[in-house]
Structure 1
Amino acid sequence: MTHSERWCWYSLLLMLIWLPIPLGSHRMWSWSIFEIWISCQTLLLSASLWHQFPWQKIRKFVWLLAPLSLFQCWIAIQAIPLPVEVLSIIAPDVAQVYRQVGADVGSLSYDRYATLTGLMKGIAYTLFAFNAVVLIHSVKRVKTVLYALVISGTFQSFYGVLTVLLNSHQSWFFGLPQGHRATGTFLYFNHFANYLVMCLCLGIGLIVSQLHQTESGSWHVRIRRWFSAVMSAKMMIRLCLIVMVIALIMTRSRMGNAVFFSVIACGGVIALCFYKRRPRALTALIISMMIIDTFLVGTLFGIDKVKQRIEATSIETETRDQAVQWSLDIIRDYPLTGTGLGSFYSTFPHYTHYNIGYYNYAHNDYVQFAAEAGIPAVVLLSLPILVALWFCFNVIRTRHSKTLKGTALGCLMGILAMMAQISVDFHLQAPANAVTFILILVLSGCVRQIQVRPESHPVAVDHLLLKN
């Protein structure tokens, strides 16, 4: 390992913790910092590995890097200036709009500036995936990444909970108005909830990876394990998860809370049915997450208010479903090419039937990506997600490494959670959330590709210690 590669590794970990802090990196100045940071890091990493470039590992992640790269190529094509005559052959409807305003040159995108901005972010996401693929090459580094996300989620949770409990009217970092919901350092409480759900899923995977897979053999060994668990990092991680659950509940996010407890149940069923050499304490962990976190912690910190928000939701007061329905007309008119990445806010007003307020996002990432980039592009991006789900499920069933199986379970739950949440909101538009999700996809490939030595038998070690 070269010094440059080591610095790139530490930079990647710091980046994971930094991205949520400047408003979820959901402002131009903050995502520009990310773009410059990851570009410089990629140059340094490529230079340090130039003579021993890991082409073999890159080939193993073609399923992820190729779709991301091809998607960026398509977005670049959307922003290319074209004569209206040429554009009329490719996309007659778009060319007609440019003719109506008397333009001689147009593009597939209705908003080239927004599309170029999205392209820059997309390239940065692809570079991040490349860095993660190259740098996460051992079980130790997989575990370190999980710890980094747990630390980040815990910090965000402490900050978000304290600002609410202390009745702060302004956020401590940026002086923005602070409501009665926990938002962490994010602008939007639902983005904060989505980020916490991903951190919680990977945190659960980290705890599962530390559970004993073998029988205790005797009460002496069992008691010894109990005491060691109380004094170990496992208990600290469990406390961190409780703090994150408190913050999640205090976001009052309907979908965030519903999805989290649903994926716990779903992940628990998958683990109990398919987990190879299932840890005996896994059932107890799942039950504790459902009972302690839902009923005890939820009762203390206001899960009843989340229930009230769900019960108060009605078709009359909720307009997001109407925005999604009207957005389908955009897809119907531009099914192949889309209107240009980032152009939703400028094209959607032409498809509204009456005033429902200002919508710069569709509040459904499936619909928005299809409207802006076209259906083929959405299918292209869905392929690595399906592959990652299969990798996670296969690792849970077949691999022996506790760390890799636990990580696979956490990634599986995180992917399912994100797939559910983006059906009602625009979480992939926030760079902090998008990067964390890309990291989950990378980890899904790492748990399949990383080779490990056979682990020592813990029961034999326990018995040996007792005899001595």
Structure 2
Amino acid sequence: MNSINVPGAGHVHKPFLFTSLLLLLGFIPWLHGAELVWEIMLFSALFMATFGFAIVSKQVNVLTAFTNVKLPLCLLILWFVYCCIFLIPLPVEMAQRLSPNMTMLIEANSLQKESVILTISKALTLIELAKIASVICVFCLCYLLAKHRTQQEKILKVLFYSSAVMAIYSQVNHYTNGQFELVRAIPPFGSPWDSMVRGTFSYKNQYSIYLAMTISIGFGLLLNNLKKKSKQLDLNNVTTFIIHLVTTRHIITILLLIVMLVSFFGTNSRGGSLILAIATTITLLNYSLRTKTHNFSKNKAIFVTCVVVVFSIVFFTSKSYERFTTLGIKDNGRIMLHKTALSIFEDYPLLGTGPGTYSAIQHSYKDIRLGNSAMSKHAHNDYLELLATQGVLGALLITWSLLLILSKIFYRIPDKNVSVVLGCQVSIVCILGHSFIDFNFGTLALSVYFFVIIALLLRMAEQQ
């Protein structure tokens, strides 16, 4: 981080800012993943205030600190500005040229105005703007404050241990049928605890992908620590390696990962289970092609075998497996939901209906067979929902930015810290893949974690 050389300035504020960031990242999943309006606004304000304090305290030179990510960051900011335009009153003639169906909708509601805004819901767009501003601030904060490997690992440990504690919380409530529930699901979501686990999230599939991301990070941290100890203690002997594994603090991480796996499969999410397996395979194939190394030791073979065995045992004895056997790959109405989003996009192709407004427009387009359930208020495909609400222009801005970032973090595999990098890459592929069949980015916590991880991966890629 490019600090301004004011005596004592950085030493006073950096620990405070970094600790504040860690607390926010650890706590945000515990309030429904920040789904309610007040939760979104609270965390958005805190993230923006933390980033604002970092700038005001003159710890960084913003003109040079983001040199390596200038283009993707500028595109993210331009995306935010684009979304702000939806709230600016425009002459009716201009609005008609930009979004003809929007003005037709206004006329249909008998609203004669000289100027109009380009969103069908000002309130929903304001909420979406708060979410976009917060994830950009989080991205910048993590990129600035996690320049060194120690800081990167501290952030990842907070993500992992917060999730591990939630997994324990889930299992306790699963076996006591919710006797120790602290955060109730937002109606109409929520099922009896004895039938599935959901953590503090309302929608079990979102909790599933949250676990998939943090489990991947946990495995990466564990393997990285084992690799360090192997070099220090000469753990090439298989017996010595196993003894070290079960007699040190690593056993705590392993037990936490097992609890998280049990909770993961206890969510009954078929998509989450499938996506984790696919994401792991894709990431390892990418690593193999990029490095072209195939050095397998006995210890690695034993560890991988143990992981596969534990994974298989937990899966085949879980409710997720039962659901696979009864439902197979049945889409549960997702094809109809996707068609709904495409129908909206066809009517509002350039600009969409306004950021965050899908729930306010979908009822006019959806198939009557979908009913009026909470599930139908989202497209269950974040990419189609983005097209429907922000049109081609909004989708192009965020897609261009993310493609630039993803090309950097997947093309280069650092020589050091490989396990952590691979764990983070798996988590990114998990949420990106799962978002084709669900609405993960509609929850602020998952969006925040995504931007945190890509910011860390960018820093890791620079450390060559």
> Which TM class, normalised by the smaller chain length?
0.7 to 0.9
* Residue of structure 2 aligned with 1:321, choices 311, 315, 335: 335
Q: Does 1:265 align with 2:281?
A: yes
CA deviation map 1:314-340 (0-9, x unaligned): 46xx22220111221111222211110
CA deviation map 1:408-453 (0-9, x unaligned): 21222112111211011100000111101111111120111236xx
Q: Partner letter of residue 21 of structure 1?
A: W
- Residue 243 of structure 1 aligns to a residue whose secondary structure is helix
Q: Does 1:296 align with 2:313?
A: yes
Offset at 1:353? 4.1
Q: Partner letter of residue 249 of structure 1?
A: F
Distance of aligned partners of 1:449 and 1:352 in 2 relative to their CA distance in 1, 3 Å threshold:
same
CA contact (8 A) 2:156 2:217 kept: yes
- Which TM-score applies when normalising by structure 2? 0.87
CA contact (8 A) 2:37 2:127 kept: no
Q: Partner letter of residue 85 of structure 1?
A: E
* Residue of structure 1 aligned with 2:244, choices 221, 228, 238: 228
CA contact (8 A) 1:5 1:48 kept: no
Correspondence for 2:176: 166
Structure-to-structure mapping, 1:313-392, within 5 angstroms? 314=330, 318-358=332-372, 359-392=376-409
Q: Distance in 1 between matches of 2:94 and 2:258?
A: 58
Q: Does 1:16 align with 2:25?
A: yes
CA contact (8 A) 1:54 1:134 kept: no
Offset at 1:54? 5.1
CA deviation map 1:333-387 (0-9, x unaligned): 2221111012112222222342412222111101000100112322322234333
Offset at 1:117? 1.5
Distance of aligned partners of 1:159 and 1:144 in 2 relative to their CA distance in 1, 3 Å threshold:
same
* Residue of structure 1 aligned with 2:16, choices 3, 7, 23: 7
* Residue of structure 1 aligned with 2:140, choices 130, 143, 163: 130
CA contact (8 A) 2:340 2:379 kept: no
Offset at 1:306? 3.3
Q: Which moved more, 1:325-334 or 1:347-356?
A: 347-356
Q: Distance in 1 between matches of 2:180 and 2:103?
A: 47
Q: Any gaps of 5 or more consecutive residues in structure 2?
A: 1-9
Q: Distance in 2 between matches of 1:123 and 1:247?
A: 32
Correspondence for 1:202: 217
Q: Partner letter of residue 208 of structure 1?
A: L
* Residue of structure 1 aligned with 2:198, choices 154, 174, 183: 183
CA deviation map 1:228-272 (0-9, x unaligned): 333444433222221111100000011011111222333344445
Offset at 1:298? 2.5
Q: Distance in 2 between matches of 1:412 and 1:10?
A: 25
Q: Distance in 1 between matches of 2:132 and 2:355?
A: 10
Q: Distance in 2 between matches of 1:219 and 1:416?
A: 32
Q: CA RMSD in A?
A: 2.6
CA contact (8 A) 1:263 1:413 kept: yes
Distance of aligned partners of 1:216 and 1:117 in 2 relative to their CA distance in 1, 3 Å threshold:
closer
Q: Distance in 2 between matches of 1:361 and 1:220?
A: 51
CA contact (8 A) 1:263 1:416 kept: yes
CA contact (8 A) 2:40 2:131 kept: yes
Correspondence for 2:305: 287
Distance of aligned partners of 1:323 and 1:174 in 2 relative to their CA distance in 1, 3 Å threshold:
closer
Q: Distance in 2 between matches of 1:394 and 1:230?
A: 35
- Residue 386 of structure 1 aligns to a residue whose secondary structure is helix
Q: Distance in 2 between matches of 1:425 and 1:20?
A: 18
Correspondence for 2:207: 192
Q: Distance in 1 between matches of 2:148 and 2:231?
A: 28
Distance of aligned partners of 1:135 and 1:215 in 2 relative to their CA distance in 1, 3 Å threshold:
closer
Correspondence for 1:456: none
Q: Distance in 2 between matches of 1:308 and 1:127?
A: 43
Distance of aligned partners of 1:388 and 1:306 in 2 relative to their CA distance in 1, 3 Å threshold:
farther
Correspondence for 1:464: none
Correspondence for 2:437: 424
Q: Any gaps of 5 or more consecutive residues in structure 1?
A: 452-468
Distance of aligned partners of 1:185 and 1:219 in 2 relative to their CA distance in 1, 3 Å threshold:
closer
Distance of aligned partners of 1:238 and 1:266 in 2 relative to their CA distance in 1, 3 Å threshold:
farther
CA deviation map 1:40-93 (0-9, x unaligned): 21222112235x425433121224422221111111011211221221232222
Distance of aligned partners of 1:441 and 1:207 in 2 relative to their CA distance in 1, 3 Å threshold:
same
Q: Partner letter of residue 230 of structure 1?
A: V
How many aligned positions are there? 442
Correspondence for 1:69: 77
Q: Distance in 2 between matches of 1:444 and 1:377?
A: 25
Question: Percent identity at matched positions?
Answer: 21
Correspondence for 2:105: 97
CA contact (8 A) 2:32 2:183 kept: no
Q: Which moved more, 1:81-90 or 1:111-120?
A: 81-90
Q: Distance in 2 between matches of 1:305 and 1:147?
A: 32
* Residue of structure 2 aligned with 1:46, choices 36, 48, 55: 55
Q: Distance in 2 between matches of 1:210 and 1:57?
A: 30
